[in-house]
Structure 1
Amino acid sequence: MLSDIAAVATAAGVLAAVVQLLLSRRQARAAFEHEFIRRFWAIGDDALQQPQTHSGTVERKRYLRLCEDEFEVMRLGSISWRTWEVWHEAIRDGAAVHRDYLDDYEWVGTCMGVEDHPGADCPAIFRSGTGVHSQHMSARWRSSVGRLWFTTASAARRTAYIRGGRFTTRAS
């Protein structure tokens, strides 16, 4: 009897530790992602506050370097697929005005070289880099468990949204 109680208590303790670990990892990832959001806003704020020194070429280079860094952290698996979908869409919108300057930006150039595509299928995160700063990275796997889970869950969410939150096709 006492050993059964101890076993249940141990199992509950292990479960609580696992939940705490998962929550702390999620919180750390969110804080890391927030740093990139801060960098994005700093670029825009600097351009508004100091237009003589932070406009044109400087702002464009800072923005495209931020985009490259976002590709790198995605390729390293440091951000979530959900965040990547949002960032990818924003990168494509923001980099579209800089198409003539993408030669020095391998990942952004690869992404922008392919017509409209979702972030989960972006060719830039599934190829090996050739640049000096990309030798330490390997391409993400197209069939990773995380990506498959994300794309399946996203499809289910889209289906639910399109059907007004209903998973059935029966008439009401």
Structure 2
Amino acid sequence: MRQVLLLNATYEPLTTLSLHRAVVLVLREKADVVHRDGRGAVFRSASRTLDVPSVIRLRRYVRIPYRSRIPLTRTALMRRDDYRCAYCGQRAETIDHVIPRSRGGPHTWENCVASCTSCNHRKADRMLEELGWTLSVVPVVPRGVHWRLIGAHSVGDPLWAPYLAESAA
């Protein structure tokens, strides 16, 4: 389904939402269209014509509570590791704990990496030193406001780039 970038009243990116939800916000006059669809598509009804939005902005400011640590989710972890196995570099399908949970390893950003099925199976509940393996990158906690927009950088509309660039800084 088509996604639309939602901006706060201050032009800060909040999230992406479905085209249907974006149109409802615009029709209820809770948001304004900042950029319309690049193809020039429009919605028509008996009494109204509306440009299909690509970016919308809320009319009222919405306060976002400060979150000091980004929650660890499968989607966020795969996005952080660019869907690549931390051991061999192939396409990752699973999550692996560097220090296995069976040996007291925590379920945290610093201990979890994306892994392909074969590497995850071969590693099992062993430590990297036991196998002679090394990590290609050190797992870290992602930082920045743009992590609310999981996937927005890879599937987003080119019109979103100026808003996402400002939020990443």
Same fold (TM over 0.5): no
Q: State TM-score, norm by structure 2.
A: 0.18
Q: State TM-score, norm by structure 1.
A: 0.18
| Structure with greater strand percent | 2
| Structure with greater helix percent | 1
